[in-house]
Chains A and B, each alone.
Chain A
Amino acid sequence: MIGLGQFLEVLIGGLMSGVLYSLVALGFVLIFKASGVFNFAQGAMVLLAGLALVRSLDLLVAWGFPLWVAIIFGISFAAVIMVITAWLIERLVIGPLVNQDGLTLFMSTIGVTFILEGAAQMIFGSDAYPLRLFPTDVWLLFEDLFPGGILVNKLDVWGGFIAGILVAGLAIFFERTKTGRALRAVADDHLAAQSVGIPISWIWFVVWLAAGLVALVAATVWGTKLGVQFSITFLALKALPVLIIGGLTSVPGAIVGGLIVGAGEKIAEVFLGSYIGGGIEYWFAYVLALAVLLVRPQGLFGERIIERI
């Protein structure tokens, strides 16, 4: 018999998990929205940012720096790494491929993925490194109403709070700033944007940097949850159904998609999984995504593209 308390707990837990998926999905959306490139390397960027942060943090703490100083310098160091990464990707990979077909650019990001994964582990190590930037204990809510209460993890709440700030910041950036509008123009048509004087190299550097910084934010939350290690790259696979549902071009869509995937997969696993052997949440997210694709191929919030032929 399913209790209301259990259902609410699973629902809330799923929604919170979904927000964490959205943190990774946002990086995909940023680059696609601004350059039309599906960035396969986003998961690898989370790994790189996380390793740069945790290794520098550990080193600074070992040298006797106070924790808050180490955190500030650690995050700054990781941000610098993401600046260098964005610059190198623009200079060596994306820049030379300007005006190429979208599929070519997508393939190039697959190459970037493997290079980033290898380089990150070669430079910073391939062990599992613990990271504790946020509290990981829990609140038990409504204990009077439901036996055992409803469990809410503080880390998930932090993740939701951070995602909210990110979405608000990115929305303002895209809608209200000159650079944001230029990003959208480049995404619509590289050549046309160049012809009206938009510096495409600079714009692409900015967008990869923004995606890199979003990856750093995702790494702080997921690193605290899992420890920083190679498996963090698998988060990219969790972000894919989120993107399909929310739409590749919508920042709010990444959040809504995350909520749907998170809640859907958790409810399916807990209440349906036990009847069919369990372990269904991984593919159930893709079932949800396929269902949305059939009804709205551009995703719930994606732009509908109409091309004249």
Chain B
Amino acid sequence: MVRNKLILATAVLSGVALATPAAAQNEQFIPILSYRTGAYAVNGVPFANGMADYYNLINERDGGINGVKLLVEECETGYATDKGVECYERLKGKGPTGAAFFNPLSTGITFALTEKTTTDKIPIITMGYGRSDSKNGAVFAYNFPLLGTYWSAADIAIQHIAKEVGGFDKLKGKKISLLFHDSPYGKEPIPMLEVLAKKHGFEFTPIPVTHPGVEQKSQWLAIRQNRPDYVLLWGWGVMNGTAVKEAAAVAYPREKMIGVWWSGAEPDVTPAGDQAAGYKALMLQHGAGKFPVHAEIEKHVYAKGKGLSEPGKVGEVLYNRGMVNAMLGVEAIRKAQEKFGKKPLTGEQVRWGLENLNLSDARLKELGFEVMLKPIKISCSDHEGAREGRVQQWDGKNWKVISDWYTASQSDTEPLVGDVSAKYAAEKNIKPRDCAKES
């Protein structure tokens, strides 16, 4: 049972935490802000398991990062912003050098922490979520929306729709609705979709769904009346499965629904059963499936009885995403060690590692992530690092990749990033860094 795994998680993670004082001086503290309880636990648990298992792999197989053991502690946020901030305050100073970085797994928590992390000089990794304007590292020095922002996701979704309808010129006059979680997360793609609607001439209608999204009859009856050509789904937790079921109830074709990458995991479709067949979702590069890194985890973590997931769930979409998220953090620490030495590092030093992270195909292969990910290169001006995605479709039993790679168009996203981040800098009195002088 997943809850039993929580007990195991505590035991495994505290095993590291109870190291001797001398050893503790050579440990890098990494907090995990997770949600294993509450309305969003269905999605939060596999993500947290993927992260924790990867950190365990680094400790068990490699003895840490260049001999620096990882000291990991989970804090339960329940996807609530207030609890997320509490967790941050409690954990930011732990370990010999404080927290290396935070992964809040919540756009709401990200908004709440952005100023604090800058003041405390601790980077915040928001892989595939968070503030889209924080792609601009010149303004948001400590935010890292790695692999893709919601503005990139919106752009990729519209690219795919354009391909399906026969070209961007065919988008004119089409109706595209956005069914979104009424929260900072769900609202984030709206400005980008408004820009794209204006550019391509489609009619855009945002439709909010109140947390947690168990009741959506009104929204789907409105969709039944308006008959949009496509529905983009920006949901989380129970909202996703309910949306797919309600779509079936009003006979809206699931093939015309495209979820963001947080609406494209197994728990989002299994409650709907056969009714979910045909539903599509974006991929944050990777999907489900096992790759060489999974064999390593099974050998060094699960074989020792230290794995947190049910074995059958290793390789599911959100487990893999947690693992990818953990790997990017680990590689940032490794990069920072090249400059600052093989010792526990401060958040500020790890920030440098993140900003100079460059994972080539060859390096990804060494890490066991080939095929799952494309190369990623972060820089001062580009804290996103990569903006590729694909589209997958649920066939009733499995996710199948149905598209080639798309790359979000920077000519679409960059003006909005520039405008919004400049406005933020002016509001907060931040002087943007000169990225030409950063190294």
Identify which of B213, B214, B218 contacts A266 (C-beta below 8 A). Answer: B218
Interface contact A270-B221, CB-CB below 8 Å:
yes
Interface residues of A in 62-121 (CB under 8 A from B): 118, 121
- Given A128-B241, A269-B218, check contact A148 B224 (CB 8 Å): yes
The answer to whether B207 and A281 have CB atoms under 8 Å apart is: no
Count residues on chain A whose CB falls below 8 Å from chain B CBs: 45
Q: What is the 8 Å Cβ interface bit string for chain B, positions 125-168, against chain A (1 contact, 0 not)?
A: 00000000000000000000000000000000000000000000
CA–CA, A227 to B42, complex, Å?
12
Tell me if A229 counts as interface (CB < 8 A to partner B).
yes
* Contact digits for B210-228, partner A, Cβ 8 Å, 1 yes 0 no: 1011110111011011000
A286 part of interface (Cβ distance < 8 Å): no
B2 within 8 A of A: yes
B271 near A129 (CB under 8 angstroms)?
Answer: yes
Within 8 A of A (CB), among B229-252: 237-238, 241-242, 245, 248-251
Asked if residues B38 and A230 are in contact (CB atoms below 8 Å), the reply is yes
Alpha-carbon distance between A10 and B225 when the two chains are bound, in angstroms: 10
Q: Is the CB of A127 within 8 A of B218?
A: no
Which has the most chain A C-beta neighbours within 10 Å: B1, B209, B217, B250? B217
Residue-by-residue, is B50-70 near A (CB-CB < 8 Å gives 1, otherwise 0)? 000000000000000000000
**A136 touches which of B42, B213, B218, B249 (Cβ 8 Å):** B249
Interface secondary structure of B, over-half rule = helix
- When distances are taken between beta carbons in the complex, the residues of chain A under 8 Å from B41 are 121, 126, 230
Shortest CB distance A101–B (Å): 30
Q: A153-B249, A226-B271, A229-B42 are in contact. Are A127 and B2 (CB under 8 A)?
A: yes
Q: Considering the complex of A and B, which 4 residue pairs feature the smallest CB-CB distances, nearest first?
A: A227-B271, A279-B208, A269-B218, A231-B238
- 7 additional A-B pairs beyond A126-B2, A128-B270, beta carbons within 8 Å, are A10-B221, A13-B217, A13-B218, A136-B245, A231-B39, A231-B214, A269-B218
A–B complex contacts, Cβ < 8 Å, 23 sampled = A17-B217, A118-B37, A124-B1, A126-B41, A128-B241, A128-B270, A129-B271, A136-B275, A138-B251, A148-B224, A225-B242, A225-B245, A226-B271, A230-B38, A230-B39, A231-B39, A231-B237, A238-B214, A265-B218, A266-B217, A266-B221, A279-B208, A279-B210
Binding site for A on B (CB under 8 A): 1-4, 36-39, 41-42, 45, 182, 206-210, 212-215, 217-219, 221-222, 224-225, 237-238, 241-242, 245, 248-251, 267, 270-273, 275
Residues of A in contact with B (beta carbons under 8 Å apart): 6, 9-10, 13-14, 17, 118, 121-130, 132, 136-138, 148, 151, 153, 225-227, 229-232, 234-235, 238, 265-266, 269-270, 273-274, 277-279, 281-282
